[in-house]
Structures are given as C-alpha cells and as structure tokens.
Amino acid sequence: MFRFVSRLAPRVSTALRQPAVQTPKKIMPITTSVVRKMSSEIALTDEERDANWIAYFDNPELDYFDFCLGFHDLWQEDAVPEPAIMQAALYACRRLDNFPIALRCMELLRVKCVDKKEIYDYVIQELGPTLDELGLKTPEQLGIDQVSD
C-alpha cells in the first residue's frame, strides 16, 4: 500500500502546483427594454361570465369536489355573485344531495355582502322562490348569523 502511495505522490504534487483552469463564467446581458407579458385571452363581458358560471353549476356530471373548486373560484372574484349564479349553485347542491354545502354557500354569500346590506337583501329577495322550493332557510332565519360569546 505504501508503495502505491509513493508512486502517486509525484503526480499529486505536480497537479497541486499547476493552476486550475477556470472556465469563464457566462455573463447574461442586461436588457434595457422591459417586455410586458400580457394575456392573449379575450376579456369576457359580465353576461358571458355569468352564463359560464351558470353552465358550470348546471353540469349534470358536477361532483362535490368540482363544486367546491368552482365555488371557491367564484368566491375569489371581487364581485358578489348574481342571483342566477347562486340559484344554479343551490340547485347543484340539491343534485348532490348535500344540505351543509348549500348552507355554507348561503353563509359565504352573507359574508361576501357584509358591508353591502342592500345587495344582500336584493339577492335574498331574488332567491326567495328558490329557497322555498328547496326548503332552505337563510342564515338569519336559522339564527347562525351571529357569533355567540
């Protein structure tokens, strides 16, 4: 073993004395012009957007996961959903036979309109026949609109 080390010693010492070859670093050019990346999508009108949401919730193959995903996306929008969209969502809850998610939709509508009482009253007024048909009550009627201490 020592014989092997002694044979390698001259090669190692010469390798250590030679400067290492450094590869030049690539320098990325700095671009002075800023390119704006814009979407190529065409903006939808309010009517088209509403029709898309209604068609989404009216899909007979909609399952619980897709409903929750779609309602979450609807919730993330800045606007309060139209009564027709909420009606389609409530009918989808009925098709899914899921009463708790329908109540949750009504609670989220109330939370979305927390500082817009007149908008909430309008949506509830428009949803009145649908709520009666489905046998649903508003959070106020159920008494779950207030947080107890």
The answer to whether residues 54 and 88 touch, using CB atoms and an 8 Å cutoff, is yes
| The pLDDT of residue 9 is above 60 | no
* pLDDT score recorded for residue 148: 47
At 37 the three-state DSSP class reads coil
pLDDT in tens, 99-127: 999 999 999 998 888 888 899 999 999 99
The pLDDT-based confidence of 149 (bands split at 50, 70, 90) is very low
* Burial per residue of 72-106, b for 16 or more beta-carbon CB atoms within 10 angstroms, e otherwise: eebeeeeebbbbbbbbbbbbbbeeeeeeebbbebb
The per-residue pLDDT for 116 is: 86
- Each domain of the chain, given as residue ranges in start order, spans 46-142
pLDDT for res 43: 81
What is the assigned CATH class of domain 46-142? mainly alpha
b vs e for 112-138, b when ≥16 Cβ sit within 10 Å of the residue's Cβ?
bbeeeeeebeebbeebeebbeebebeb
pTM greater than 0.75 (yes/no): no
Closest of 128, 147, 148 to residue 137, by C-alpha:
128
Length of the chain: 149
Q: pLDDT by residue (tens digit) across 64-73?
A: 999 999 999 9
